[in-house]
Amino acid sequence: MWAYGRTGGAGGSSGQRRYALLALPLGLIAVVAVVDILAPPEVHLGPLLVAAPAVTAAFGGPWLVASVGTLAAAVQLGIGVTRRGWLTLNHQTQAVALLLVTGVVTLFVLLRERQRREMSQVRSVSEAVQRVLLRPLPPRLGPLRVASAYLAADAEAQVGGDLFAAARPGATTRLLIGDVRGKGLDSVSDAALLLGAFREAAHCHADVSGLAAYLERSVSRGLAEAEGFAGDTGYAGGAGAHDGGEDFVTAAVVEIPDSGHEVRVVNCGHPPPLLLRGSHVVTLRSEAPEPPLGLGEFATSGYRADTFPLEDGDLLLLYTDGVIETRDAAGAFYPLAERLAGWAGDGPETLVRRLKADLLAHGGGSLGDDAALVALRRAAPGEDQAVA
């Protein structure tokens, strides 16, 4: 109901502005007609009427453009009859030319409106996919306060290959953040594969190492099946298709028990999490990071988890490389750790909000790659349970 009401209100406001703007071409037609009739015989302002349908195209639909153009052609004929008492060849030619121009402009507006409808459908589908694929993380996961965000490099797509998810198996929080190699529909498909595997397996494995190993097997199997399907059907897939063994997903699998003060991380080729303690930023680098998911044959340590301290009040940030690879106008990468140090004391929601705004400002309003963020903080004893 809210969406319908908002759309209706916006549509009504747009319609009012359209009618107000209609005064421009109609006023132009009236002024040209009056001046041309009163002007000396050697002065002809009729050709200026072609501006009326052109101006209308800036805000009106095809029917409005055609109506204004037809009116302008009729006024052109009326000017000829009024000035001469009959229609001269010059006035007839100008009227025909005006109708031809109106037809061309109307066709342009038709194509523009069709493209707008298609883009609207694309946005609707993207929003639906995002709601299904990237379920919003709850503001509270056990003792953890959580905030997340997704920023698509393509403003129309709204969803791509970056992903995050969380699960609560017993008195433990498990999180996944990842980045699928490539772009397009195949990256979305691979992201869905990994998210589905995580949401099921997060409740079935006793430790995070076993969970990461399962995700590797699931992703490798899914990518192999996708490549086999493409080979069997002869479908090349175009840009962004599965590239025969070159597909993979960088990911970090994180486990935070409710009791104790530690976080366990299995890093599979992903940018390391950052820990903000006071104004000090610590990079949680794994001693032996594993290769990205889908490249399990290169794994060496059996997906051993690295353990790091996570004290009450510490803030943990998970992110994808779209954040740190965003460049400013001078080509400098986004200084994530430096920015975090200046936001000491912020809660997860405030930090994510600031980080999104600052990242877009650094990139000049857009990103070169999709970016995902998950910030969480362990609540201190006695801290208000309400989310700030």
pLDDT per position as a tens digit, 196-249: 999 999 998 889 999 999 999 999 888 888 666 555 544 444 444 445 456 789
Is 23's pLDDT higher than 50? yes
Q: Phi and psi of 327, rounded to 5°?
A: -110, 150
User: Cα–Cα distances in Å, from 298 out to 112, 184, 290, 291?
Assistant: 51, 27, 8, 6
Q: Phi and psi of 163, rounded to 5°?
A: -155, 160
According to the model, what pLDDT value does residue 185 have?
60
Taking Cα atoms as reference points, which of 383, 355, 304, 363 lies closest to residue 145? 383
Of the candidate ranges 38-52, 98-112, 178-192, 301-315, the one whose mean pLDDT is the lowest? 178-192
According to the model, what pLDDT value does residue 129 have?
64
Residue 68 and residue 59 in contact, taking contact as beta carbons nearer than 8 Å: no
Question: Which amino acid, residue 181?
Answer: R
Share of the chain above pLDDT 90, in %: 50
Confidence band, pLDDT 50/70/90 cuts, at residue 337: very high
According to the model, what pLDDT value does residue 6 have?
38
According to the model, what pLDDT value does residue 227 have?
66
Burial letters 204-232, b for 16+ CB under 10 A, else e: ebeebbbbbbbbbebbbebbeebbeebee
Of the candidate ranges 119-123, 180-184, 225-229, 253-257, the one whose mean pLDDT is the lowest? 225-229
Which of residues 279 and 254 earns the better pLDDT score?
254
Residue 163 and residue 176 in contact, taking contact as beta carbons nearer than 8 Å: yes
pTM: 0.68
Confidence band, pLDDT 50/70/90 cuts, at residue 161: confident
Q: Measured between alpha carbons, how far is 172 from 142 in angstroms, rounded to an integer?
A: 8
Residue 148 and residue 348 in contact, taking contact as beta carbons nearer than 8 Å: no
Question: Which amino acid, residue 363?
Answer: G
Is 13's pLDDT higher than 80? no
Q: Measured between alpha carbons, how far is 136 from 248 in angstroms, rounded to an integer?
A: 24
Select, from the ranges 80-84, 169-173, 295-299, the one with the highest average predicted confidence (pLDDT): 169-173
pLDDT per position as a tens digit, 143-153: 999 999 988 77
Residue 259 and residue 282 in contact, taking contact as beta carbons nearer than 8 Å: no
